[in-house]
Structure 1
Amino acid sequence: MPNPAIVLVSDKYLDVLEEQFWRYGRDYDIHSASNAQQALETTEQIRAAGGQVALYVADSRLADAHVLKAFHNWRAIVPTARRLVTAHMDHFREDSVALRPGLAKGKFDAFLLMPRGVRDEEFHTAVTEVLSDWGSTVAAPEVETVRIISPVLDGHTMAIRDFMYRMGMPVRTFSPESSEGQEVLAQLDGQEPKYPIVRALGSEPVCAPSVHDVAVAIYGAPSDIDVDQVVDLVIVGGGPAGLAAAVYGASEGLSTVVVEAEAIGGQAGTSSMIRNYLGFPRGISGMRLAQRARSQAIRFGTRFFTGWPVEGVSVGDRVHTLKTGGGELRARAVVIATGVSYRKLRVEAIDSLVGRGVFYGAAMTAAREMEDQDVFVVGGGNSAGQAAVHLSRFARSVTILIRRPSLAATMSDYLIKELEYNPMVTVRSCSEVVDGGGEGRLEWIELKDTTTGELSRHQTGGLFLLLGAEPLCDWVPSEVIKDERGFVLTGRDVPKETWINGVPPGNLATTVPGIFAVGDIRAGSMKRVAAASGEGSSVVPLVHSWIESLNEAEVPSS
């Protein structure tokens, strides 16, 4: 099979682009075209030969078509390809103003100044970021970190595969009969195989009936920590809020541990592309944002334990004890950052097919299986919109189902505009899923119009449910007061009768001294990635103050 292709398109500056892109020639097939029509013909030839286009790099001024019209035509043939516009310095400013609305609507992925010399690493950083996004979401990994052996692609197998993706590990699934499968099975030393079997990071294969088993096999259990050690800070939850707290806590000298029940990144880690996060003009996937933050926290000394939900907390005057299935953790301060989960649809026929065409969350690794399928996404928030954009690169059609009349009240404007432009995506308002079924996997759903009560049946290959927030804090001790919806109260929101000497807790502190709450789990939080990150960093001074008060209490008076 040929290498993925990069197609360069320019009339006046094709030689400049060819000179700049020679460095990619080992891993990509570089094709050149002097106009939009020639690029279209080149694309058809690549497809006919069984290849795929990873990236189009087009001059902002083409000889025979407007660049956005050209992208539209190429996208119809290769919807998964990324699209980059580069402008010569002579008309960079003028064209950036003219093309900016198209960039905001997702008509292309990046707008760059055309290089004028060698080693323009700012330009190439952007190119590699775009190619990296394509490689992690479209192409099958060339070298996998994880191998999953399973005779069927069932719900358990897909859950493990999605977990590995969210942890930033390239993963491939093989049948037991394949040569790769036989190689892994041979390492079981006669042990009866129980599928799925996972071999990660060159370690011994593990019979892994659940994500939990895989996580423990790779990352260890909390009991690996010296039981006599009391850490300064335990953070429960590895989403943006928890990761920010880990980075700032560990960087300021606190011994810090993060316990995450699922994959690092939380709900945000499933987002295919977050475009409105500060400092990432080309956007960043939730998985990459989470992995960068995790690496940053590890650099400062944070320890992570994945796959272990906290089951309870024993509140103490100076030390709180967290209980997990793998052991106990003792900490002077605890930050609750467990975030929220997607609400269940609570339609039995649908929930019985989870993992077999029905998915809660974006289920990034399932997108490739949606090729040529009609897909439905339930939800009106940013996560649902991001999932729809990503799925549209593979599916024949994507329909967003919402109960409201429009998306305006729940989704960011930039994302609404991107969906409006995308010809593969439609929004069906005032609709809800009431039934579904199929032979062994989802094949159809039944929708109800919430205004007329009319029912309609639709064939589908995938249903992605992103239904809003339910708090993840059943384990939180009763001393920590929550609101009627189950979100943790902090600061002035806690009942006045719990204030000490008429003074409320700190703005991120709960009713229990030394226990704090940040991010989506906190009542009144904004439910945005940037806001959660801000709270995670802001809680660290409060933790410091609490620990300092404990230390001062230990010093005997003179």
Structure 2
Amino acid sequence: MTETPRPKPVILLVVTETSRAVLTDEFSSRYARDYDIRVVTDVLTVTDYAASVIVEGQPIALICVDFDLDIDAVDVLDVLRNVSPSSRRIVLTPFSSFQASLEELRPALAVGRLDTYLLIPQGPRDEEFHTAIAEYLSEWATTTSTPEVVGVRIVEDGNQPAVAGIRDFLDRMGVPWSRYLPDSEVGRELLAEAGEGAELPIVKAFARPPLVGANEHLVASSFYGSPADLGDDYVADLVVIGSGPAGLAAAVYGASEGLQTIVFESEAVGGQAGTSSMIRNYLGFPRGISGMRLAFRARLQATRFGARIYTGRPVEGLTVGDVHKVAHEDGVIRARSVLIACGVRYRRLGVPALEDLVGLGVHYGAATSVAREMEGRDVFVVGGGNSSGQAAIHLARFARSVTIIVRRRALEETMSAYLVDEIATHRTIKVRTGSRIVDGGGDGRLEWIDLETDGVERLAADGLFLLLGAEPGCDWLPEEVARDENGFILTGRDVPKKLWVDGLPPAPLETTVPGIFAAGDIRSGSMKRVASASGEGAGAVSLVHAHLAPAPD
């Protein structure tokens, strides 16, 4: 049976007659095979034109507006954002207008009214221009569009809460997937392969046997095999626990400098940072980068240097000694040094009725894979940190309304200014301060929540995304590794003097146990930022080398 081809996504160019020829040629020559290039010069009709494209069933992937229009280009993007919120938005500036445009475009960019501004190509092979265009098309495809190529097939009937976690894992790993009903052609095929009476959901990944009654952990643990395959005699130079920015940086630098490096990750590579829809303040990425892409690139770097990464492998214990022993579900791996970079986990809301609906409209974390399904719906984001702001902005591309709920008096107390300013530009995002959720429910999935501010108000809700702040996730650590009163790991001079050895403090990122280090959010006193975590992970490797170096005669 031949599937009906999907309509091509649209690249919409809103241009002047002066730039029409060069931009039409520039985009058509590069992108016409995969995208429908639409060119509009009458700016007064472009809103209706864009709406008609959407009605016809063609998504608009990218909107590019000429700065030299007779009316303000950023205002045009503001209007078109209401028509197609998920489109990426770019202002194209002629060389002659570039300097004059900066004063207007930089402030607009800072508050999210556009994604970037680019100089119109002045000649052939302007690869910097096309690199930017390709990045935004790629970002749109991974976060908004249904995958064209399916790597993983999921069979479910809509009643399995585990599917949300599976999809989120696959999205964070950059793996395309598609869902099928049990009575579909693919569904019947996979049910037959799995065997009569097989429990849903069924997950078929690549050429492997189908996973029956699958959940996020089973899918994650099937990706890279088991560390038990290394053999009983294997001793790692460095075991990294956690694959957020700190863990990945340590894996890259450790493996590239010749250390036998193993990484354990309980979920998907990237940690909490990997769930961010867009990180805009990370050094070296002026156009921003999604957490998934940052983690994907770091993962490739680490594995190319020889690091072994095992997902779906939570560490269950650590025994200290001359050679440390790291316990996992398949056994024990020995390590000459250990870096604890397991980050933090979101606190639970503690409302039983809502805990029962996790995966059925209630989600911990950003759950970017679910955002596409929130189109035309009312959703709520609980939390006042940067991850909450990023999640709200991403959800606003799809949802009819997004409400951020915080207990504090203002977002500014806990959220970066650039996110607060961008949230203020979204007419679909509201902020409820001094509020908390006290109840919720629905028939089989989330339908309502009770919000307490001055009194209790019942609100219709289709999605609830909980990003409630951080608590350490290292209950498995032995007593020898000292922690502060909140459970975060003490390192360096933060270690109490009574625990110093020979009157000397541990090295800056070293714990109370020689050869065991900590970096990133799990470390007491850390900055809780992606860049600082990456720096600590890289810096820890030099301390590992010093620890492993032979003692001088």
| Fold match (TM-score > 0.5) | yes
Letter in 2 for 1:522: R
CA distance in 1, matches of 2:384, 2:534: 22
Letter in 2 for 1:465: L
CA distance in 2, matches of 1:533, 1:314: 26
1:146 pairs, out of 142, 148, 152, with: 152
Give per-residue Cα distances to partners, 1:323-379, cap 9 Å, x unaligned. Answer: 111121111000000000000010111111111111100011111111111111000
Corresponding residue of 2:3: none
Q: Is 1:434 aligned to 2:438, yes or no?
A: yes
Corresponding residue of 1:466: 467
Alignment of 1:81-480 (within 5 A): 81-188=87-194, 190=195, 192-317=197-322, 319-449=323-453, 452=454, 454-480=455-481
Aligned residues: 546
CA distance in 2, matches of 1:39, 1:138: 22
CA distance in 2, matches of 1:433, 1:273: 26
SS in 2 for 1:510: coil
Letter in 2 for 1:296: Q
Q: Give the C-alpha shift of residue 153 in structure 1.
A: 5.0
SS in 2 for 1:162: helix
Q: Give the C-alpha shift of residue 209 in structure 1.
A: 2.8
Give per-residue Cα distances to partners, 1:131-165, cap 9 Å, x unaligned. Answer: 11110111100111111111225320111111111
Contact 1:404 1:430 in 2 (8 A): yes
CA distance in 1, matches of 2:504, 2:216: 44
Letter in 2 for 1:111: Y
Structure-2 change in CA distance of 1:514 and 1:528 (3 Å): same
Q: Give the C-alpha shift of residue 502 in structure 1.
A: 1.1
Q: Is 1:78 aligned to 2:84, yes or no?
A: yes
Letter in 1 for 2:512: T
SS in 2 for 1:427: strand
Q: Give the C-alpha shift of residue 117 in structure 1.
A: 1.1
Q: Give the C-alpha shift of residue 74 in structure 1.
A: 1.0
Q: Is 1:53 aligned to 2:54, yes or no?
A: no
SS in 2 for 1:408: helix
SS in 2 for 1:289: helix
CA distance in 2, matches of 1:361, 1:257: 26
Residue segments in structure 2 that go unaligned for 5+ positions in a row: 1-5
Give per-residue Cα distances to partners, 1:212-258, cap 9 Å, x unaligned. Answer: 21122222122111220111000000101000000011111111000
Structure-2 change in CA distance of 1:239 and 1:153 (3 Å): farther
SS in 2 for 1:187: helix
Corresponding residue of 1:43: 50
Q: Give the C-alpha shift of residue 184 in structure 1.
A: 2.4
CA distance in 1, matches of 2:207, 2:110: 42
Residue segments in structure 1 that go unaligned for 5+ positions in a row: none
Q: Is 1:5 aligned to 2:5, yes or no?
A: no
SS in 1 for 2:13: strand
RMSD (Å), alpha carbons: 1.2
CA distance in 2, matches of 1:339, 1:226: 28
Give per-residue Cα distances to partners, 1:58-97, cap 9 Å, x unaligned. Answer: 111213x211111111111111111011101111111022
Corresponding residue of 2:502: 501
Structure-2 change in CA distance of 1:226 and 1:345 (3 Å): same
SS in 1 for 2:108: helix
Q: Give the C-alpha shift of residue 208 in structure 1.
A: 4.2
Letter in 1 for 2:360: R
Contact 1:35 1:62 in 2 (8 A): no
Structure-2 change in CA distance of 1:111 and 1:153 (3 Å): farther
Corresponding residue of 1:485: 486
Structure-2 change in CA distance of 1:68 and 1:506 (3 Å): same
Contact 1:208 1:214 in 2 (8 A): no
Structure-2 change in CA distance of 1:173 and 1:153 (3 Å): farther
Contact 2:270 2:291 in 1 (8 A): yes
Contact 1:221 1:327 in 2 (8 A): no
User: Which range moves more in the overlay, 45-54 or 2-11?
Assistant: 45-54
Letter in 1 for 2:229: D
Corresponding residue of 1:532: 533
SS in 2 for 1:400: strand
CA distance in 1, matches of 2:302, 2:533: 16
Corresponding residue of 2:25: 19
CA distance in 2, matches of 1:67, 1:200: 45
Give per-residue Cα distances to partners, 1:368-420, cap 9 Å, x unaligned. Answer: 11111111100000000000000001111101001111011211100000001
Give per-residue Cα distances to partners, 1:185-210, cap 9 Å, x unaligned. Answer: 3333x354221111112322221432
Structure-2 change in CA distance of 1:543 and 1:208 (3 Å): farther
Corresponding residue of 1:552: 551
Letter in 2 for 1:58: V
Give per-residue Cα distances to partners, 1:528-549, cap 9 Å, x unaligned. Answer: 111111100110110000000x
Letter in 2 for 1:299: R
Q: Give the C-alpha shift of residue 470 in structure 1.
A: 0.6
SS in 1 for 2:551: helix
User: Which range moves more in the overlay, 431-440 or 30-39?
Assistant: 30-39
Letter in 2 for 1:524: G
SS in 2 for 1:13: helix
Structure-2 change in CA distance of 1:153 and 1:30 (3 Å): farther
SS in 2 for 1:296: helix
Give per-residue Cα distances to partners, 1:481-520, cap 9 Å, x unaligned. Answer: 0011100000011110111111100110000000000000
SS in 2 for 1:131: helix
Give per-residue Cα distances to partners, 1:87-114, cap 9 Å, x unaligned. Answer: 0111111102211111111111111111
Corresponding residue of 2:35: 28
Q: TM-score, normalised by structure 2?
A: 0.97
CA distance in 1, matches of 2:191, 2:387: 38
